[in-house]
Amino acid sequence: MRVLHVVTAFPRSPGDPITPWLVELVRRQRDAGLDASVLAPAWRGGPGREAYPEIPVRRFRYAPASLETLTHEETVPDRLRRRPASLGLLPGYLLGGVRAAHELGAGEPEVVHVHWPMPHALFGAAARWGSGGRSAVVSSFYSVELNWVRRRLRFLTPFLRWTVESADAVTAISRSTARAVREIAPVPVAVVPYGAALEDAGEAPSRPALSDPDRLRLLFVGRLVERKGVEVLVRALGEIRTRRPAELTVIGAGEREESIRRTVLACGLADAVRLAGPVPADDLVRAYGEHDVFVLPAVVDAKGDTEGLGVVLLEALRFERPVVASDLGGIPDIVEAGRTGLLVPPGDPTALAEAIESLADRPAEARAMARAGRERARERFGWDRVLRETSAVYAEARERRRGA
């Protein structure tokens, strides 16, 4: 089966942290015998050499090389919000993507898998047109595009509805995202989350979590953007430190870094918070093993966006780290409160501090929840299941297209 993935961004070089789960999906599909390829926008005219030469990638151009910065470094909504002048790149982006998709559609892929259908459903339609109407289109939603339209760009609701209704099959990464899609149009929505290599994790780190009663080590990993809520975690750490020794490591980079630094200083926590920036994969694995509790303090940001799933929680559970996260978005799909981790109201540093300390006070119970979380994650988010469910969606879409 020939499958064309239409995406917002694809790694530009080895080690580029862009959409690692998408790379793994395409790679595993190819290993399973699918002829899977990718259509993605260029970044500053490149790359000249693909990060994954085993995966066929078509990069479409949409502006002079120096201006091709709409994607990759941050989400497109964030880019447009911070730099409104980037709106001028959208016509070229849409035209370049439609042209390239139409050309690739002439090869008649059986399935065109459109990720982030706002606005990439246009590319899916162009590929289907190029195939003479024979290609089936699968649209996958990740919440950001839905929240963006519902909260900020309501005039685009008819177009959003068309992206749902024109697809031959629709998927969402979480139950909350699926509900949001069905509010746009009453269509069947399959919940197919990110895959996680939990079956490849091997043994848990040799140092059990919460094994040192005199030192509580917290970890956050992710992009430093508003919806991650890192400032809430810093304030929670300040409350914890009035009662016990504790420290926090923040791994990642992003636009909120300076805001986080200011919060650290305002809370008097310069000696307790380390902003490590991005780290190599080996160092990240080491960090999970060295820390006691993983925290994802997600909030709803100014544009109405939040965590569509919270895939970093799967990484933490892979190493049997107890997790505390906000009861928001797709996070409850991973964290079952009281069984595989703890959920707290978003934006509440006191509730967050109390939840973290409750784990520290009950280390054996916290470790048991982490083990249960790992097993649930393996069952629900392992690659075998994700590939099986994705293939079922493709088959459904092809049947629907044949009957169209």
**pLDDT-based confidence at 302, cuts 50/70/90?**
confident
> How far lies 125's CA from each of 100, 135, 315, in Å?
12, 9, 35
Average pLDDT over residues 80-100: 90
Decide the pairing of beta strands 2-6 and 293-296. unpaired
Shared domain for 93 and 213, answered yes or no, is: no
Closest CA to 380 of 222, 207, 237, 175: 175
- Pair 294, 321: CB distance under 8 Å: yes
Q: What is the pLDDT of residue 206?
A: 62
Tokens of 239: 């409350």
Shared domain for 186 and 238, answered yes or no, is: no
Name which of 180-184, 211-215, 249-253 the model is least confident about.
Answer: 211-215
206 or 209: which carries more pLDDT confidence? 209
Domain CATH code at residue 309? 3.40.50.2000
Shared domain for 390 and 371, answered yes or no, is: no
Longest CA span, the chain: 67
Q: What is the pLDDT of residue 266?
A: 97
Q: Phi, psi (5° rounding) for residue 4?
A: -110, 120
Shared domain for 89 and 43, answered yes or no, is: yes
Shared domain for 224 and 362, answered yes or no, is: yes
**pLDDT-based confidence at 83, cuts 50/70/90?**
confident
**pLDDT-based confidence at 197, cuts 50/70/90?**
low
Q: What percent of the chain has a predicted confidence (pLDDT) above 70?
A: 97
Highest mean pLDDT out of 188-202, 349-363, 377-391: 349-363
Name which of 49-58, 202-211, 281-290 the model is least confident about.
Answer: 202-211
Q: What is the pLDDT of residue 367?
A: 95
Shared domain for 176 and 39, answered yes or no, is: yes
Q: What is the pLDDT of residue 198?
A: 57
**pLDDT-based confidence at 404, cuts 50/70/90?**
low
C-alpha to C-alpha distance for 249 and 313, rounded to whole angstroms: 16
Give the domain extent around 252.
Answer: 199-380
Name which of 240-249, 377-386, 392-401 the model is least confident about.
Answer: 377-386
For residue 61, the one-letter residue type is R
Tens-digit pLDDT profile for residues 31-52 = 999 999 999 999 999 887 788 9
Q: What is the pLDDT of residue 205?
A: 61
Shared domain for 65 and 159, answered yes or no, is: yes
Q: Phi, psi (5° rounding) for residue 20?
A: -60, -30
Shared domain for 213 and 118, answered yes or no, is: no
Average pLDDT over residues 378-398: 93
Closest CA to 26 of 41, 48, 11: 11
Shared domain for 178 and 213, answered yes or no, is: no
Shared domain for 348 and 338, answered yes or no, is: yes
State how many domains the chain has: 2
Q: What is the pLDDT of residue 268?
A: 97
Shared domain for 186 and 212, answered yes or no, is: no
For the chain, give the mean pLDDT.
92
341 or 284: which carries more pLDDT confidence? 341
Q: What is the pLDDT of residue 295?
A: 98
Shared domain for 134 and 264, answered yes or no, is: no
**Strands of the sheet with 216-221, listed across from one edge:** 273-277, 246-251, 216-221, 293-296, 323-326, 342-344
Name which of 77-86, 218-227, 262-271 the model is least confident about.
Answer: 77-86
Closest CA to 260 of 236, 231, 282: 231
